[in-house]
Amino acid sequence: MIKFLRGLFESSRLSRNTTPKLVSILFAIVLYIYVMGEVNPEIEKELNNIKVNILNKEEVENSGLVFIDQNEFTVNVKVSGKKNEIYKISPDDIKVSADLSGAKQGENIKTLQVSKPVNIEIKEISPQQINVRLDKIIKTQKTVEIVENGTPKRGYETGTPQITPDEILIEGPETKVQAVAKVIGEINVDGIDENIRRNVPVKAVDSQGKDIIGVKVETKNANVFLPVLKLKNINITPTIVGKPKEGYKITKIEVTPKNVTLRGKEAFIDSVKEVITKPINVDDLDATLVASANLVIDSNIETPYLNDLPKIRIEVEKIETKEFTFKANQISVNNLKGTLTTNIGELEEDIKIKISEVRSVLEEVKRSDLELIIDAGGLEEGTHILDLKLNKNRSYENIEITPKDIEIEIFKKEDEEDIDGVLNETIPIDRIIDMPGS
């Protein structure tokens, strides 16, 4: 064969002037390569945001799965080739796909497949894989709550809203539905002092109140009635029944808390003048009593800030006695006519005053705080027996005065008697002195 080719070559015209011909061919090849390298060089180009074609979506949907977060993906592709080829290429010429065959619930990492024109090379694809997250569709009922924005008018407060429906069906990917804490509607209550009735849009949120995207709320609105109630702060008055043990007295009653905040419809609140407790029995009480007491209030009125029943503290003390002695001449005579006087200053009789009261009070009683008096109003001259009374600056449990009365003499003052004697004296005629001019 080799001999045949050699003979063919030698018999042909190529065997003549071989060297110049080979040099010419080589030069032509080099020149072509040079020209092509300068005129149509090899270059690179990056094509961005090329959409990934998802294959076998129907298989995913038929298995009851849906995409979570995203169902569209894009990639960036760097290509290379001759300048004239690269200039003509566009993102539509590069086909990127991901096959979801066999995809399951959860994360699915899929390697991308790329198809390209013949004269183009793929230098880089970013990312080379996509993470397709799939989840199954579920439905569930969620409670509807109302979020109030703002603050009602001073002295008013919102009550419990009435919501229709109070539960709403939501649907979506299991992980998203499970993240829904509740369905909420929002109402502006700033400065209000009357009830609100409104149709409110609702949405699904998580436990932090953030919107959950990708969950379908079957009912878009809820009818809401929001009552606006009046507040009133009022003192608590304890109701005490019975009597402490003989010889004892209630000295102090404390209520904790002293007052209570009422909440209700304005008509009910305005009608309340006081809040009393149910009766607390102190029969035979001889020591401090602390008792919880229920309040007597209308069933239409609430006590929203009263966490515990009021505590009633009732203190009792034993009654003791303290005795004071007065002289009769220390008695004050009141309402005596100005022309009369008495013999009270000459009496030496002792008057005893016995005051019964608890020790804490008796310790503060001084003799100077007491005054024995008798009332001589309307009396004339003569002997009179008058009741003794004690003029005091406070009341006491019991006061005993011994004796209870005193006998006194009332007579005219000496100066008054002398004047009356002069006025009533008969003057003899011979003592009448002639007056000038008579």
- Same domain assignment for residues 235 and 314: yes
Report how far residue 265's alpha carbon sits from residue 300's, in angstroms, rounded to the nearest whole number.
8
**Helix, strand, coil content of the chain in percent (nearest 5):** 20, 45, 35
- Same domain assignment for residues 216 and 268: no
Burial of 322 (0-12, 13-18, 19+ CB in 10 A): middle
pLDDT at 335: 93
Sequence-separated (6 or more) residues with CB below 8 Å from residue 387: 374, 375, 404, 405
- Same domain assignment for residues 288 and 358: no
- Same domain assignment for residues 181 and 141: yes
- Would you say the C-alpha torsion 24, 30, 31, 32 has a positive or negative sign? positive
pLDDT at 435: 38
Residue 425 within any structural domain of the chain:
no
Q: Are 50 and 75 in contact (CB under 8 A)?
A: yes
- Would you say the C-alpha torsion 24, 28, 34, 39 has a positive or negative sign? positive
Report how far residue 85's alpha carbon sits from residue 40's, in angstroms, rounded to the nearest whole number.
9
- Same domain assignment for residues 387 and 343: yes
pLDDT at 345: 86
Boundary residue ending a domain (127, 144, 162): 127
pLDDT at 32: 54
- Same domain assignment for residues 323 and 311: no
Ramachandran class of 155: left when φ > 0, alpha when ψ lies in -120 to 50, beta otherwise: left
Boundary residue ending a domain (169, 200, 226): 226
pLDDT at 71: 82
User: b/e per residue, 17-45, with b = 16+ CB within 10 A?
Assistant: eeeeeeeeeeeeeeeeeeeeeeeeeeeeb
pLDDT at 416: 54
Beta bridge pairs of residue 268 = none
pLDDT at 432: 37
Q: Are 146 and 105 in contact (CB under 8 A)?
A: no
- Same domain assignment for residues 366 and 313: no
What average pLDDT values come out for the chain (438 residues) when binned by 10 residues?
53 58 66 57 89 90 85 90 86 91 90 89 91 92 96 95 96 93 96 95 95 93 97 96 95 96 95 95 96 95 95 96 92 92 89 92 89 92 93 88 93 66 44 39
Domain that holds residue 243: 231-318
CATH of the domain at 164: 2.170.120.40
In the three-class reduction of DSSP (H, G, I as helix; E, B as strand; rest coil), residue 382 is classed as strand
Residue 6 within any structural domain of the chain:
no
CATH of the domain at 94: 2.170.120.30
Residue 145 within any structural domain of the chain:
yes
Boundary residue ending a domain (101, 127, 153): 127
Q: State the amino acid at position 181 in one-letter form.
A: A
- Would you say the C-alpha torsion 97, 98, 101, 105 has a positive or negative sign? negative
Cα 416 to Cα 36, 336, 339, 346, 383: the distances in Å are 160, 15, 7, 20, 19
Sequence-separated (6 or more) residues with CB below 8 Å from residue 121: 79, 80, 81
- Same domain assignment for residues 341 and 369: yes
Radius of gyration of the chain (CA): 58
First to last CA, the chain: 212
pLDDT at 85: 85
Residue 432 within any structural domain of the chain:
no
Domains in the chain: how many in total?
A: 4
Q: 């799939």: which residue's tokens?
A: 134
Q: Are 274 and 312 in contact (CB under 8 A)?
A: no
pLDDT at 348: 83
- Same domain assignment for residues 193 and 280: no
Residue 165 within any structural domain of the chain:
yes
Nearest to 99 by CA among 88, 113, 89: 113
Q: Are 222 and 196 in contact (CB under 8 A)?
A: no
Report how far residue 367's alpha carbon sits from residue 5's, in angstroms, rounded to the nearest whole number.
160
Report how far residue 228's alpha carbon sits from residue 264's, in angstroms, rounded to the nearest whole number.
8
pLDDT at 70: 79
Question: Which H or E run includes 256?
Answer: strand 248-256
- Same domain assignment for residues 153 and 190: yes
Residue 435 within any structural domain of the chain:
no
- Same domain assignment for residues 352 and 306: no
Q: Are 294 and 254 in contact (CB under 8 A)?
A: no
Residue 152 within any structural domain of the chain:
yes
DSSP state of 92: G
pLDDT at 28: 64
Residue 431 within any structural domain of the chain:
no
At 179, list the tokens: 């993240």
